[in-house]
Structure 1
Amino acid sequence: MEIGNKIKALRKKNGLTQQQFAEKLYISFQSVSNWERHKGHPTTEMMLLIIEKFDLPLDFFIIPPTNSCEDNDEELILLSFLANMHSNREDKPSLKQLEKTSGIAIQKIKQYYPSYDDLFYAVINRIDKDVKIKVETSLSTNDNLISVFINDMAPMLYEKKEELHLLYTRPYIRNIWITFIKSKYLSLITRYNPKLAADILTTEYLIEMLTSFISVWMSQPEPEPLVDFQNRMKKYLSNL
């Protein structure tokens, strides 16, 4: 199902007009109309906002491949995107670079990912999906957020330190990633922790602090060892 069709189905499932759907996203109803008529495309930030507002799975907008060949092509394009992010700090990978690295023609790349927003969204989904699932499981059984952060989340982040380092240090995707992290984990925390859900301001301060710790950690040329980071966090967060 194409993105426009997914948005239309989501809107109707929630019994909303285009105007009501647009108001929830702080945009014009014309934008929603254009998406549904396939005359426009939501940005990465907008796709992530829709996911947050309607509590959708992170891969909601990912269109499943119809065969294994397509699946391999899409994975190869994303791996090529990450490889080019690694070699170029300031500029997002060009389609010519992706074509050269992946061996897949630009026209075919555009079939899978019509815009850079699609690529950004797919990269974020690929990197965060496993972490999000495991953190959600931890939060559902442990209401101590600091414990989850130090003992469960930090090890999973460290396993993905090479990819996360790219997201935190490349200017063309850094802000999109940080905005996503803050909104998504705020949603998870308030879902599973009634105490924090009742005090949103405190929770937002806490999220800001924890995401800042991660940002500094993963922005280093070589993130400090996991045990050192965990000990540092235990020291800083011991009074919370």
Structure 2
Amino acid sequence: MKFNTIQHTLQNIRTKQNLTQVDFAEKIFVSRQTVSNWERGISIPPVTALSIIANTFDVPLTQLLSALDGEQANREHAAERQLIVEAFLTLLHRHNGQYSTIDLIIAESGIDYEHAITLFNSPSAILQYIAQQIDAQVIAALDNYSDDDPLMMIADAVLPVLYQHNHTLKILYTGHYANGEWLTFLKNSYQKWAAPFFDNYDITTAPVSRKFAIELTVKTTLSIISTWLTQPVPTPPDQFRQTFLHLTRTPIIKLICP
């Protein structure tokens, strides 16, 4: 299922240009907060702003207007989508993470089937929607945080966002069906995000390849986060921050044999 909404369209335009929200805002003569609100779906850009964006970044105005229509339709059906998401998570939890068909999920949601199937046509589409919603908040948090240390960025900007969704993430991390798709999505997304931090990786002295190092770093970090969020009562992020930094910077042997 494709979510061609204005918030994702603008975010894609900006990231393809390798621009921060500040840079993007300056080019279209608005504030960074305005861009942030657009990308998070808090507000919708007026047509005049879309016209400036179209001219500045050589994007067809019709494409932006179509995305705007998608955003408005998305808002109209937001409550119904949330009911289906909650039904999806409820069934995952009830069945110990086992797969449920879209028919069962829609029945659990209580929404008319013919309408619900136009919103989500598969469990994977629901999972993708959840991922996009959380990922958009993570991207916004990272974009507003500047630090050369990626682990500090995660500790300060990402952990609070993930903690807000800890109930949802606990189900996704522990579910057999969702776990595989969810971790694959995370691994692919964050390997791309982490790659630039390895631009100066010296393969002549390193024990492993750059690709191996990126994948290992991302998987290790995700394992720490998933272990944190799947605890019966996850520690609040301001308290877990130091633990996260300690774990990510401590060799495994020192944790086993302190």
Q: TM-score range by the shorter chain?
A: 0.5 to 0.7
User: Aligned pair 1:121/2:128, yes or no?
Assistant: yes
TM-score by length of 1: 0.62
Question: Are the counterparts in 2 of residues 127 and 163 from structure 1 also a CA contact under 8 Å?
Answer: no
Q: TM-score by structure 2 length? A: 0.58
Q: CA deviation at 1:77?
A: 2.0
Alignment of 1:113-152 (within 5 A): 113-138=120-145, 141-152=146-157
Return the offset for 1:79.
3.1
- Which structure would you say has the larger Rg? 2
Local SS of the residue matching 2:77: helix
| Partner of residue 174, structure 1 | 179
203 and 83 in structure 1: CA distance in 2 versus 1, 3 angstrom threshold: same
Gaps of 5+ in 1: 6-59
What is the identity percentage for the equivalent residue pairs of Structure 1 and Structure 2? 21
- Residue pair 1:76, 1:102 contacting (<8 A) in 2 also: yes
1:66 is aligned to: 73
Distance in 2, matches of 1:65 and 1:86, equals: 32
Q: Distance in 1 between matches of 2:144 and 2:198?
A: 13
> Structure 1 residues 205 and 99 mapped into 2: Cα distance closer, same or farther (>3 Å)?
closer
Aligned CA RMSD, in angstroms, stands at 3.2
- Partner residue of 1:78 out of 85, 91, 105: 85
Return closer, same or farther for 1:102/1:195 CA change in 2, 3 Å cut-off.
same
The residue that corresponds to 2:190 in the other structure is 185
2:165 maps to: 160
For 1:225 and 1:197, how far apart are their aligned partners in 2? Answer: 37
How many residues matched? 180
Match of 2:234 among 194, 215, 223: 223
Residue identity matched to 1:194: D
Q: 1:66 is paired with a residue of what secondary structure?
A: helix
Structure 2 residue runs without a partner (length 5+): 5-66, 204-209, 252-258
